[in-house]
Amino acid sequence: MKKGILFLFIITAFFTSCNTAKEQKEQEVYMFTSFREPATDGLKLLYSYDGYKWDSIPGIFLKPEAGVQKLMRDPSIVAGPDGTFHLVWTCSWKGDPAFGYASSKDLINWSEQQHIPIMAFDTTTINVWAPELFYDDVNNDFIIVWASTIPFKFEKGMEAEDNNHRLYYTRTKDFKDFSKAELLYDPGYSSIDAVIVKRDSTDYVLVFKDNTRPERNMRIAFGKTAIGPYGNQSEKFTENFTEGPSVVKAGDEWLIYFDAYRKKSYDAVSTKDFKTFTDINDKISIPIGHKHGTIFKAPESVLKALLEK
């Protein structure tokens, strides 16, 4: 009897230990990609345990080598179902119809950088700006959204022909084969910096920047799939001279971070329905100098390894 009780105790302790280890392994933290001007240094990272208070992780984690100008602006990371982190970024201001790509298992050791000429099919393309990753769990693939200018393709508004952006997308399962670039959303004016947010199986939100003068603020459109069609465009929900939205769910609220570049600050609003927005600048803290990035989640063990490095 005593041996049986001892055996039961050992088995119980073993499974309790395994479950505890599993829980610790699966604990996640918020991560925020970042860069610093003049965008030649490379990938920087912030972290947070609550989505409101952010700290820097010292160091540069990937120096840009892809592209004509070899920049790294607007870095966007998404983790795939297998835990691989995928990174895309703006690699040139103009004269380069491509974005940069690399992947990593730990955010420290990276694959060879790739130059993806996604808009090379039109030789008049001016640029590929702010590629943003979204994992589509419905189709089990990745969607990349960005802004490009193709002169004289769309009705000219207030912007010059070489600054009349529209939002495009491509799909990929392996970051080797990409679907042909297609128009994601045309609000009728120059627009950049788009982020796809999934709320439910047929409920998606597109947060983007109205890049026209004198607006240069952010708006929202709604769709039933990740690639739209998007419509019911909102009025602006930020002041002018704001860009680079990043959206994250914290508790029962969505937080939208953005670069208030004229004020030289990083701001945020919260919302539950993407119709009413509350200024939460008094609740957040962002390291000085942080620029346009995206928020994703990573295991705490990944963060600890980054901090140790």
Q: What's residue 5's pLDDT?
A: 52
Q: What is the pLDDT of residues 233-253, one digit of tens each?
A: 999 999 999 999 999 999 999
Can you tell me which residue has the tokens 């399962």?
A: 173
CATH number of domain containing 49? 2.115.10.20
Structural domain harbouring 275:
2-308
Q: What is the pLDDT of residues 197-232, one digit of tens each?
A: 999 999 999 999 999 998 999 999 999 999 999 999
Domain count for the chain, please give it.
1
**pLDDT > 70 fraction of the chain, expressed in percent and rounded:** 92
Confidence check: pLDDT of 18 > 70: no
Q: How many CB atoms lie within 10 A of CB 230?
A: 23
Cis preceding linkage at 229, omega within 30: yes
Mean pLDDT (whole number) for 30-47: 97
Confidence check: pLDDT of 22 > 60: no
Mean pLDDT (whole number) for 244-266: 97
Q: Which of 120, 226, 104 is nearest to 175 (CA)?
A: 104
- Helix H, strand E, coil C: the string for 231-262 is ECCCCCCCCCCCEEEEEEEECCEEEEEEEECC
Helix (H) / strand (E) element for 160: namely none
Mean pLDDT (whole number) for 253-281: 97
Label residue 25 by pLDDT band (50, 70, 90).
low
Q: What's residue 158's pLDDT?
A: 85
More confident residue, 157 or 175: 175
pTM more than 0.85: yes
Q: Is 242 exposed, middle or buried (0-12, 13-18, 19+ CB in 10 A)?
A: buried
